[in-house]
Structure 1
Amino acid sequence: MEVVVEAFEPALLPSRIQMAFTLASHVLLVPLGVALPSLTLLMEGIGLARKDSVALKIARRWSVVMAVQFAVGAVTGTILSFEFGILWPRMMGRFGSAFGLGFAIEGWAFFLEAIFIGIYLYGWNRLRPRTHFLVGLVLPPAGLVGAFGVLASNAWMNTPAGVTIVEGKVTDVDVMAALFTRALGYEFWHFVIAIYLTAGFVVASVYAVAWLRGRRDHYQRLAFAVPFTVAAVLTPVQLLVGDLAARAMAEDQPPKFAAMEITWQTRD
């Protein structure tokens, strides 16, 4: 056994580095990929309710960015799915039956979102405005379900539950317990609020630059105000949720929390 461990030891650090790089690249796309559909629908709803052609114009432009983000995110997400099996084959082989369901849920949500993004984009000026808006309502829940699946798998790796291990092998899996582990609650809400907050500020920043350059017409004001309001409202909420998440992590995973705080030497 020692020989096998030593044989794989040189590959451990490169595998971690590659996984970290791919995750860091992918997560940059996630806020707009998941939250932008909600912002787009909010803007479209404002346009329909107020009969505001400018709001509808903004929503249509955002929908194009939404589709591009989804496509690029799909590429990096696919790479990640392969890396789990290639870089960590033993972990997936032993525990895949425990936390693999989360990835299956994410895959289902991905295809659902892909279908309705296509319909939503194609439906501009082809579907009745109300019908087009109703079609788009599928997108935010699909994105959140996909995020739930990924976070459920991640939460299981942080706080494993719902499995029976006999002689190092998983012999029984309680699906619900494996999905809804202790870490899922604070991970999910912290992440969801973070992506909406980040997307709101990123989108608003584009139009803030236009404001600084003197472009302050109705288009620029509305395109700035909606995402900025969403982000501003969520900011104090995230402070509270983040504090709860940090406290829970300090209790569940003290070494990880110490690493996050750059505390190399700890004491009881």
Structure 2
Amino acid sequence: METSTLSAFDLARIQFAFTISFHIVFPALSIGLASFIAVLEWRWLKTGKAYYKELCLFWSKIFAVAFGMGVVSGVVMSYEFGTNWAGFSKFAGPITGALLTYEVMTAFFLEAGFLGIMLFGWQRVGPRAHFAATLTVAVGTLVSAFWILASNSWMQTPQGFAIVDGHAVPVDWFKVIFNPSFPYRLVHMTLAAFVVAALVVSATGAWHLLKGRRDPGVKKMFVMALGLLLVLAPVQALVGDQHGLNTLKYQPAKVAAMEGLWDTEAGGTSLKLFGLPDMQAETTRYAVAIPHLGSLILTHSWDGEIRGLKSFPRDERPNSTVVFWSFRVMVGLGVLMIVLAALAGILHRRGRLYEAKWFHRFALVMGPSGFVTLLAGWVTTEVGRQPWVVYGVMRTAQAVSPLSSQQVGISLMAFVVVYFLVFGTGVYYMLKILRAGPNVSHDEHGDADETLESEPLPGTARPRVTAALNV
């Protein structure tokens, strides 16, 4: 007898949304930090300044913890494909399973083969060999993102396959991998990972500046992170614009849901800044709109026409209430990131970057915004794809396993308890490291003793970024 008001399908979707939300933030941080650490080590080799090595050692600790938590959360999601989403695994396994295998055969061997050297090899191999290991790990994280985004993008814009005996069978691997949305989504996600790391690094620097530290390591990581953000935040906005054009072409219902657009507006589409989309009444209540701005942004023309949700069957409409606001959270925080970076540039030119406490507080508050924006972007992408798990080919309802609501509900409760205990502890430990900060360098010009010893780092393993299915 069913005791839950939610079906097994609903609970399975909630469970996957919960686990993937915990998972995606750790690989994103790992991807960004791996490249940041590689740059720091390169600067240390080039300049010989001690604080670069201090920063390498410090951020390697954060990287190691994030890496380990990415492993645990990724493994859980791998099992979920078989337990909760057997229909999807049976149908799309010949494609998504192969893509995840390619990730293991490439990224796994790069990361697993050199991670130990990166974390524990400072006193065991030469400086150049150690840098090569660090660089290899950084490349490995990017390769992993490549295959995972290829798999997820195929689910968004599937091509290069045929359906044989109820299975999606690849007929052209090039088309499968380089599907229409893949280039935009790969660049968008990779830049997002770098932005996430830059915001965490800048917030850490801001914290220590507010506490009165002015040693070279703190100042250097602060200015490097903000410099990266000054470049990437506007670029990310441009990439997002191109991604939006691609989405309008291949997933017009998602764009209509993002804009809370119900009726097709001939002669030019307005942009709703705010509003409350009502799925039942088929309207967006209390809308504040600017005429023609939607056309300018979404089609780059004054009178571009965008299909409203009413032009799609009711059972093929994404939940506009969710997507409308998740998209605005993402865009709004993105604008604040650009403001943060622009202010940093102005203060740096005026020589006030390290003394403007109001700005340090702003940077500190913005520290978590990268994670929030990342999650909001994934909510927009994945909820906007509904009711399809493979867009236009397989519905999400067809992908679920034949389980009872009690079975899924019990496992969901167990996940909630365990995740908050395990990952709460991990996040607490990371925050403790961040509060302690890097070791103090005694000489801003790099003449300090270079025989720095790293503290023992937590044991780590490779994170599986198995965010290929969000249901």
TM beyond 0.5: yes
Q: Is the 8 A contact 2:33 2:59 kept in 1?
A: yes
Q: 1:84 aligns with which of 81, 84, 88?
A: 81
The residue matched to 2:162 in structure 1 has which SS? strand
Deviation at 1:125, TM superposition (A): 2.2
Deviates more, 1:56-65 or 1:97-106: 97-106
Deviation sequence 1:108-157 (CA, Å, 0-9, x none) = 31343133111111211222112211121101211011011111110111
Deviates more, 1:256-265 or 1:131-140: 256-265
Q: 1:103 aligns with which of 81, 100, 112?
A: 100
Identity of aligned residues (%): 37
The residue matched to 2:7 in structure 1 has which SS? helix
Residue 65 of structure 1 pairs with residue 62 of structure 2 = yes
Shift >6 Å, 4+ stretches = none
Deviation sequence 1:74-120 (CA, Å, 0-9, x none) = 11111111111221111111121022222112223134313311111
Q: Distance in 1 between matches of 2:83 and 2:253?
A: 26
Q: Provide the residue aligned with 2:251 in structure 1.
A: 253
Counting matched residue pairs gives 260
Q: Is the 8 A contact 2:95 2:169 kept in 1?
A: no
Q: Provide the residue aligned with 1:141 in structure 2.
A: 139
Q: Provide the residue aligned with 1:5 in structure 2.
A: none
Q: Distance in 1 between matches of 2:190 and 2:104?
A: 18
Q: Are the structure 2 counterparts of residues 169 and 103 from structure 1 closer, same or farther at C-alpha, using a change threshold of 3 Å?
A: closer
Q: Provide the residue aligned with 1:42 in structure 2.
A: 39
Q: Is the 8 A contact 2:154 2:176 kept in 1?
A: yes
Deviation at 1:217, TM superposition (A): 1.8
Deviates more, 1:93-102 or 1:252-261: 252-261
The one-letter amino acid of 1:107's match is: V
Deviation at 1:183, TM superposition (A): 1.1
TM-score (norm 1): 0.90
For structure 1, the residue ranges without an aligned partner over 5 or more in a row are 1-8
* Larger RCO (alpha carbons 8 Å, 6+ apart): 2
Q: Provide the residue aligned with 1:19 in structure 2.
A: 16
Q: Is the 8 A contact 1:55 1:219 kept in 2?
A: yes
Q: Provide the residue aligned with 2:112 in structure 1.
A: 114
For structure 2, the residue ranges without an aligned partner over 5 or more in a row are 1-5, 262-276, 283-308, 312-471
Q: 1:53 aligns with which of 50, 57, 82?
A: 50
The residue matched to 2:226 in structure 1 has which SS? helix
Q: Provide the residue aligned with 1:3 in structure 2.
A: none
Q: Distance in 1 between matches of 2:82 and 2:69?
A: 21
Residue 161 of structure 1 pairs with residue 159 of structure 2 = yes
Q: Distance in 1 between matches of 2:243 and 2:34?
A: 26
Q: Distance in 2 between matches of 1:171 and 1:53?
A: 54
Q: Distance in 2 between matches of 1:267 and 1:159?
A: 22
Q: Distance in 1 between matches of 2:166 and 2:259?
A: 33
Q: Distance in 2 between matches of 1:171 and 1:49?
A: 50
Q: Is the 8 A contact 1:156 1:181 kept in 2?
A: yes
Q: Provide the residue aligned with 2:348 in structure 1.
A: none
Deviation at 1:173, TM superposition (A): 2.9
Q: Are the structure 2 counterparts of residues 173 and 88 from structure 1 closer, same or farther at C-alpha, using a change threshold of 3 Å?
A: farther
Q: How does 1:232-251 map to 2 (within 5 A)?
A: 232-251=230-249
Deviation sequence 1:192-226 (CA, Å, 0-9, x none) = 01110111111111111111222112121012122
Q: Is the 8 A contact 1:198 1:231 kept in 2?
A: no
Q: 2:197 aligns with which of 196, 199, 208?
A: 199
Q: Provide the residue aligned with 1:176 in structure 2.
A: 174
Deviation at 1:166, TM superposition (A): 4.3
Q: Provide the residue aligned with 1:28 in structure 2.
A: 25
Q: Are the structure 2 counterparts of residues 127 and 172 from structure 1 closer, same or farther at C-alpha, using a change threshold of 3 Å?
A: closer
Deviation at 1:187, TM superposition (A): 0.6
Q: Provide the residue aligned with 1:94 in structure 2.
A: 91
Deviation sequence 1:8-62 (CA, Å, 0-9, x none) = x922111111111111111111222111111011111111111101111111111
Q: Are the structure 2 counterparts of residues 205 and 157 from structure 1 closer, same or farther at C-alpha, using a change threshold of 3 Å?
A: same
Q: Distance in 2 between matches of 1:169 and 1:105?
A: 20
Q: Distance in 2 between matches of 1:133 and 1:172?
A: 39
Q: Distance in 2 between matches of 1:152 and 1:51?
A: 40
Q: Distance in 1 between matches of 2:70 and 2:41?
A: 24
Deviates more, 1:188-197 or 1:93-102: 93-102
The one-letter amino acid of 2:19's match is: T
Deviation at 1:267, TM superposition (A): 4.6
Q: Is the 8 A contact 2:94 2:167 kept in 1?
A: no
Residue 214 of structure 1 pairs with residue 217 of structure 2 = no
Deviates more, 1:251-260 or 1:221-230: 251-260
Q: Distance in 1 between matches of 2:77 and 2:47?
A: 43
The residue matched to 2:139 in structure 1 has which SS? helix
Q: 1:74 aligns with which of 71, 87, 91?
A: 71
Find the structure with the greater CA-based Rg.
2
Q: Distance in 2 between matches of 1:181 and 1:192?
A: 17
Q: Distance in 1 between matches of 2:84 and 2:109?
A: 25
The residue matched to 2:181 in structure 1 has which SS? helix
Q: Provide the residue aligned with 1:150 in structure 2.
A: 148
The one-letter amino acid of 1:45's match is: W
